[in-house]
Amino acid sequence: MGSSSSPSLLLVFLLLLPSFIIAASPFPYHSNKIHIPLAGVKPSGNTLGESKRYEGSSDLVNLRYHMGPVLSSSIKLYLIWYGRWAPSQQSTIRDFLLSISDSSSPSPSVSEWWSTVSLYADQTGANVTRSLTIGGESSNLSLSRGTSLTRLSIQQVISDSIRSGLPADHRNGVYLVLTAAGVDVQDFCRAVCGFHYFTFPSMVGHTLPYAWIGYSARQCPDVCAYPFAIPAYMGRATTAMRPPNGDVGVDGMVSVIAHELAELSTNPLVNAWYAGDDPTSPTEIADLCEGVYGSGGGGGYTGQVASDGAGRQFNVNGRKGRKFLIQWVWSPVLRACAGPNAVN
């Protein structure tokens, strides 16, 4: 955390100490746990037999429903741009988000990818919604909460935005805090690339589902923008892929956003769909498929993905001719990782 030795900052640090302790406790924050690829080599030969379509298929995965709600009402996303973003970066991210409900994109599409997420239902029989729109946006170039955020100060950023006019939409709202290059977040790059949770009434005035995702291109692309950057230890066994929208950081974020939205929708209050016995570190539907983007994926190999005329890799199409590379998610029907670009 902050290593500044300025006396006033030290005082602030001491005043914040209780929240640091809370933040360090094993709270049920979801983290997009960093996936360590085992080896950068494509498996040779067809060791996967007939079932290439069903990556990671396993009876050992005990994904269970814990009686809580899923996000079944149409989702309104509120985007909070924290720090300086280029308009082109923002439009790539907006196009991805708006592609989730856009069934007119050519197959394999982002909306087909989301159809696996909407297979999850809650005890009332309500499925995860297929409708996502952008309800509003706010930006703060003045970095009101500094450039080193804790998990709790992300909630303060949401609270600031609501005080400045973003609606507190407790019917349909999902808040996405997107931190720009140069903003450090607790555990960013070391243990997480993004996380989702819900806000506390004491901090924000309401319980609102939210996710944070950071721009990693300057700080740790090999960790959070894989496979557009490759960790050094993977050496020459593999080469980085070319990002479909030309920005390693944004294209890397898109997959983390996809990951967090899939999990947030199926486990918004951390009491619905997850595997494992410990609700303080749930293994959710995208955690189960991290690093898998296509058929044959797993163990450090992304799986089969497509390439455009310029050699940029992608696995789904979105609106306005956009292409994205996003990880697969666990299907409760196939009991395996699934995505629309699966090959037979």
Among 90, 91, 140, 147, binds ligand NAG (CB under 6 A): 140
The Cα–Cα gap between 315 and 25 comes to 38
The Cα–Cα gap between 253 and 257 comes to 6
The piece of 56-64, 104-112, 138-146, 301-309 that touches ligand NAG (CB under 6 A) is: 138-146
Query: Is the CB of residue 53 less than 8 Å from the CB of residue 344?
Result: yes
The site for ligand NAG, by CB under 6 A, has a size of 13
Task: Please tell me whether residue 118 binds ligand NAG under the rule CB under 6 A.
Answer: yes
Q: Which is nearer to ligand NAG, 138 or 341 (CB)?
A: 138
The piece of 159-167, 257-265, 280-288, 334-342 that touches ligand NAG (CB under 6 A) is: 159-167
Token digits for 149? Answer: 């955020």
Task: Please tell me whether residue 91 binds ligand NAG under the rule CB under 6 A.
Answer: no
Residue with tokens 């496979």: 227
Task: Please tell me whether residue 199 binds ligand NAG under the rule CB under 6 A.
Answer: no
Q: Which is nearer to ligand NAG, 33 or 94 (CB)?
A: 94
Three-class DSSP category at 111: helix
Q: What is the largest CA-CA distance in the chain?
A: 64
Helix or strand (DSSP H, E) at 64:
strand 63-65
Task: Please tell me whether residue 123 binds ligand NAG under the rule CB under 6 A.
Answer: no
Instruction: Select the residue whose beta carbon is closest to ligand NAG and give its number.
Output: 144
Task: Please tell me whether residue 160 binds ligand NAG under the rule CB under 6 A.
Answer: yes
The Cα–Cα gap between 315 and 326 comes to 7
Query: Is the CB of residue 304 less than 8 Å from the CB of residue 295?
Result: yes
Kindly state the smallest distance separating residue 332's Cβ from ligand NAG, in Å.
6
Task: Please tell me whether residue 119 binds ligand NAG under the rule CB under 6 A.
Answer: yes
Among 121, 168, 203, 269, binds ligand NAG (CB under 6 A): 121
| φ, ψ (nearest 5 deg) of residue 316 | -140, 155
Task: Please tell me whether residue 129 binds ligand NAG under the rule CB under 6 A.
Answer: no
Kindly state the smallest distance separating residue 58's Cβ from ligand NAG, in Å.
19
Query: Is the CB of residue 10 less than 8 Å from the CB of residue 1?
Result: no
Among 161, 199, 283, 317, binds ligand NAG (CB under 6 A): 161
Among 129, 138, 313, 315, binds ligand NAG (CB under 6 A): 138
Task: Please tell me whether residue 3 binds ligand NAG under the rule CB under 6 A.
Answer: no
Three-class DSSP category at 57: coil
Rounded to the nearest 5 degrees, what angle is found at the Cα of 184, between the Cα atoms of 278 and 290?
45
Kindly state the smallest distance separating residue 81's Cβ from ligand NAG, in Å.
9
Task: Please tell me whether residue 46 binds ligand NAG under the rule CB under 6 A.
Answer: no
Kindly state the smallest distance separating residue 114's Cβ from ligand NAG, in Å.
10
Q: Which is nearer to ligand NAG, 64 or 163 (CB)?
A: 163
Task: Please tell me whether residue 307 binds ligand NAG under the rule CB under 6 A.
Answer: no
Considering only residues 319-338, where is the footprint of ligand NAG by CB under 6 A?
A: 332
The Cα–Cα gap between 173 and 166 comes to 11
Q: Which is nearer to ligand NAG, 93 or 223 (CB)?
A: 93
Total Cβ atoms within 10 A of residue 24: 13
> What secondary structure does DSSP assign to 10-21, as a single string?
HHHHHHTHHHHH
Considering only residues 163-182, where is the footprint of ligand NAG by CB under 6 A?
A: 163-164
Q: Identify any residues that bridge with 179 across adjacent strands, giving them in sequence order.
A: 82, 214
The Cα–Cα gap between 119 and 301 comes to 26
Query: Which distant-in-sequence residues (6+ apart) come within 8 Å of 328 by Cβ?
Result: 55, 113, 116, 289, 292, 293, 294, 297, 303, 337, 338, 339
Among 6, 62, 144, 239, binds ligand NAG (CB under 6 A): 144
Q: Which residues bind ligand NAG (CB under 6 A)?
A: 118-119, 121, 127, 138, 140, 142, 144, 160-161, 163-164, 332
